[in-house]
Amino acid sequence: MSSTELPHVLAAVAPKPGAVGVAAGERLDSVGLPGLTLSVRSRPAVREGLPPALFVHGLGGSSQNWSALMPLVESVVDCEALDLPGFGDSPPPDDGDYSVTGHARAVIRYLDASDRGPVHLVGNSLGGAVTTRVAAVRPDLVRTLTLISPALPELRVQRTAMPTGLLAVPGVASLFTKLTKDWTAEQRVSGVMALCYGDPARITPEGFSAAVREMERRLALPYMWDAMTRSARGIVNAYTLGGQHGLWRQAERVLAPTLLVYGGRDLLVSYRMARKAAAAFRDSRLLTLPDAGHVAMMEYPDTVANAFRELLTDTGQLSDSGAAGSGS
């Protein structure tokens, strides 16, 4: 990567080799911006003129989390998914800022530099908090907003979510690393799947193997736990922030039509928050999936894709040719 990129200008680079998992039909590119480098996963647009969409993953995830959903909506949007700084194949940011605001700033800087906005913005978990903030402070960049189990503040956090929150406490990640040093990648992935999926049995053998390979790759990175702990701390800090910068207050400021997706078996974001979110976002529609966990786009991609297309139809943003090609 050249170190001489100009501010707000995308670095022209070739697609990356397959060190990171890349599904059929996908490509992975590295985008250089002042102070950070972002890895962006994309699929070739099926035709010219499709509106752009940007997908943002959650804590500990990566752009691979969208590989099941993107092929199902590529007939109606031009799909890109980015790796937040320090996750996936994106290195840490130069300033070490893993706050929700820092991640939101990275998304905004990418959209400004790429000139893809306004986009259909989609976020899961931490990515839901990040994209909520983006939509609130830069409405010019957002056509619609889709939030899947967004990490928005809860008064009573579920017990099952507390271990993730504990990562924000100084020293806990180091202790956890020591206690789990003998765990295999398979054991770690099984634990993550049990936490994130409503029914881990829905995971295919191929999907599990891909997750194990990604876990092995991530564990070899010297900054993995730092990115996790600082981002977890960023979520906790965002939960306690009040006033105009509070996430719920920002949710009320979002102008874009919003689709909310909540899973009844979500162990990280409470199902009971669905109604509060539907009331907070002024132009919202709600999809509840009783059997889904924290990553509905991975468990029920067809259902989420149908709801996304309905959002575009309801808001007059789905072209006739797109509707014909969607198979819905």
Q: What is the pLDDT of residue 284?
A: 98
**pLDDT tens for residues 136-167?**
999 999 999 999 999 998 865 555 444 554 44
Domain made up of 27-315: CATH architecture: 3-Layer(aba) Sandwich (3.40)
Q: Are strands 119-124 and 78-83 parallel, antiparallel or unpaired?
A: unpaired
Exposure string of 1-31, with b = 16+ CB inside 10 Å and e = fewer, is: eeeebeeeebbeeeeeeeebbbeeebebbbb
Token representation of residue 285: 């529609």
**pLDDT tens for residues 241-295?**
878 889 999 999 999 999 999 999 999 999 999 999 999 999 999 999 999 999 9
Q: What is the pLDDT of residue 178?
A: 58
Percent of the chain with pLDDT over 70: 83
Q: How confident is the model at residue 236 (pLDDT cuts 50, 70, 90)?
A: confident
Starting from the edge strand earliest in sequence, which strands make up the sheet with 142-148, in order? 27-33, 36-42, 78-83, 52-56, 119-124, 142-148, 258-263, 284-289
Q: What is the pLDDT of residue 169?
A: 44
Percent of the chain with pLDDT over 90: 69
- 100 close to 126: Cβ distance less than 8 angstroms: yes
Q: Domain residue spans in the chain?
A: 27-315
Task: Quote the distance between the C-alpha of residue 105 and its chain's center.
Answer: 14
Q: How confident is the model at residue 1 (pLDDT cuts 50, 70, 90)?
A: very low
Query: 20 pLDDT exceeds 80?
Result: no
**pLDDT tens for residues 90-101?**
999 999 999 999
- 137 close to 202: Cβ distance less than 8 angstroms: no
